[in-house]
Structure 1
Amino acid sequence: MGTEIAAVEETFKRLQSHKGVLGVLVLNADGISIRSTFDNDTTVQYAALVSQFTVKARGAVRQLDPDNELRFLRIRSKKHEIMIAPEFEKSREYYLVVVQDPAAE
């Protein structure tokens, strides 16, 4: 368990070190933040909206092809780029979310 926590912390540090990254979140299946680099209000806002959006995107992929699965989602606007890497396992479901400034590329 300790090595898993260390690996998660290392991944967070590595992601945050990339140019333009504003924050990183890990959400559970209920859209609740397990770990975040944002302040509480921003975390709650991203968690609620990203989890709802990901569930809808997953449903759309499944409706188009029931044998297919959502692997990665990228949303880009003028101000931000949100990258979502969902992990759908039978026993666990997590979303890794990275928010960055696309102008910093």
Structure 2
Amino acid sequence: MSSGFDEIVRKNEPTSDRIVDKTHGYIVINNRNAIAMKSTLENSITQGIIKQMAGPLIFSARSAVRDLDSTNDLTFLRIGTKKFEYLIAPEEDFTIVVLQ
């Protein structure tokens, strides 16, 4: 884990604690190597979310936004299912996925 990423996680610890209290959990994914840098979910769920959402889904959504307006970019994605709501915030170096 890079020192810059460590600092981001440490500075946002109070926010992440509030997220855990009000949701089912969250994952912080390192975009460079598609691994969970921090997760409050079971490993199998974490890996499934990384495999299905962190890569292909975000890539497709970002591509759709840029196709509509080449000067625009994806900043937030909300997916509602029967069981959960996935809140996805892709950044340049990392992606945060919250299950609500």
TM-score, shorter chain, exceeding 0.5: yes
Q: Distance in 2 between matches of 1:6 and 1:28?
A: 15
- Tell me which protein shows more helix as a share of its residues: 2
- Which of 6, 9, 12 is matched with 2:13 structurally? 9
CA RMSD of superposed structures (Å): 1.7
Q: Distance in 1 between matches of 2:13 and 2:50?
A: 19
Q: Distance in 1 between matches of 2:62 and 2:44?
A: 26
Q: Secondary structure at the match of 2:72?
A: coil
Q: Distance in 1 between matches of 2:25 and 2:36?
A: 13
What is the aligned partner in structure 2 of residue 62 from structure 1? 66
TM-score (norm 2): 0.83
What runs of 5+ residues in structure 2 fail to find an aligned partner?
none
Identity, in percent, stands at 36
What is the aligned partner in structure 2 of residue 33 from structure 1? 36
User: Given that residues 32 and 48 in structure 1 are in contact (C-alpha distance below 8 angstroms), is that contact kept between their aligned partners in structure 2?
Assistant: no
- Which of 45, 50, 54 is matched with 2:48 structurally? 45
Q: Secondary structure at the match of 2:91?
A: strand
Q: CA deviation at 1:48?
A: 1.0
What is the aligned partner in structure 2 of residue 71 from structure 1? 75
Sort the Cα spacing of 1:3 and 1:60 in 2 relative to 1 into closer, same or farther, 3 A: closer
Once the two structures are superposed, residues 24-70 of structure 1 have per-residue CA deviations (whole angstroms, 9 ceiling, x without a partner) of: 00112243211100111111011111112111101111111110010
